[in-house]
Structure 1
Amino acid sequence: MSDAAQPTAADVRAAAEAVKAALDRHLEAVERRGGESRVPAGAGGAGERDASSAEQYAAELDSAVYAAFDALAAAGETYDELLYEAYDEVTPFEIPSSESLPAYTGPDVPTALSVLIRRDYVISEPHRLQAQAERITELDPDSAEDERYEGAAPSNSVHAALGVLFGEFEPDEIATRHKEFGLEEGDSTLWVTAVDEAAEPGEWLSAPFEQADPQRVVCRFDVSAVFDEDEEDLVLEARSEEADEDGDDDEDGDEDGYDDADGYDEDGDGAGSGVSAARRT
């Protein structure tokens, strides 16, 4: 892009102000929808607030949130583009595209939901895992009583140690404390799906993920190091272009044209996994 076509500092500042205003409007819409009363003031007494008026008002609140979300996404995208063009910098935000989810075929107003979660781990330190499981069994011997691992102690069986660990702690606590248990996080995903009606107790336990339908996903949240890599690629590309324009090399002779000390974590150890979110709008 030529210098004449580049956005000015005022253009970037105006785009930033537009993002702030869009954030305020989005929060206001969310707060209105999240209020205790779903029926507008002045709509009459409790006897006059029939189901149809309540549903209509709820739909209006939902539409306002969706519209505010779209406006915020558009403002953020504009700001991101101008920021990059003017300063070769990027934001840490990713706006999910409408193509990230297949066409939705579920009900317009879901009455029941199913939340599907997958978390992957690498057993990076088996000895730590087994030591933690052994401590649990010392405090609660019954925690090691699993007929599948009869005769196997957590101290010498990874299978038995995993059974003790996941039997003792909730999955969210394991995710928070995974390093203590000798685990390394991999990718994870959470799907919120709409279902026609709530399942009967025990109905799906024999095949819990058999009916997972991507076309009924209301929203999903993915965590993966691949999103960090995408962001790092953008940063590297921007800095490489800047170095090419300046024609200068770092004093320490780095081939990539920038100093590692300015914030880029070359081995990726200093940054957590990136998050991508997709939701129906």
Structure 2
Amino acid sequence: MGTGHGRASPDWLALRERADAAARAPELVEQVRSHLPGRGLVVHDLGCGTGSMARWLAPQLAGPQHWVMVDRDAELLRVAATSALGPAADGSAVTAERRQRDITRLAPEELRRAGLITASALLDMLTDEELSRLVVSCAAARCPVLITLSVTGHVDLLPCDPFDEVVREAFNGHQRRRLIGGQRLLGPDAVDAAVDWFHRAGLEVLLRLSPWRLGPDEHQLQTQWFTGWLGAACERSPGLAAQASAYAERRLADAAAGRLRVTVHHQDLLVLPR
């Protein structure tokens, strides 16, 4: 959302918002609360998209809050501007401003007022160089950093199909694709890379699992996720196309019949200041 390496549409973000909220690790929010200033919290939400992180987290934190919502995508920021936030857990006001910026180019001083930094579904879309710059800026803020829903590369589909693993490997290759200029996206390696960079900065990192669990009640999300997953795999490995059509027919029939269960594995990461 905030990097330019991949653009999420407002419709896709709206479709996944409920699953995102259900997946995020609540125990990390408990940790966040214990490290926040007493009053007047300023939250910088990096790669904010349409504001789903703020809609999820702001009502779980007490006291007045001001969210600085940062994304390079003007359309997503316009959608975010139409959404009311809060109130906070104790009824306090929650306000927001929007900034159109490339989050991988933030100077440390842009985050100096932050009492909390957040991001969601972001790390896999960064290169290692971009991640290292982002870590430097976040570390300089000396506040908690909560980054949720980073993909791990593991996907489980039930009932099983022999072609699942082939598609998974090709999709992960697409997530690690090389960009113009030679840099590779981190894809499913992003969490390990982030932990390494934050540890180098001398910071403590807590990890928790945050899987999407998509059953028949998430039929539309199941089918859109599956279509994008298979499409990216075929883009990476065009030789899959000969079998992909029959595979998609089987899987979409499972989804339509309410038989399909999908688990997309993520991890949430909380960085604590010194």
What TM-score comes out, normalization by structure 1 length?
Answer: 0.21
TM-score by length of 2: 0.22
Structure ID, larger Rg: 1
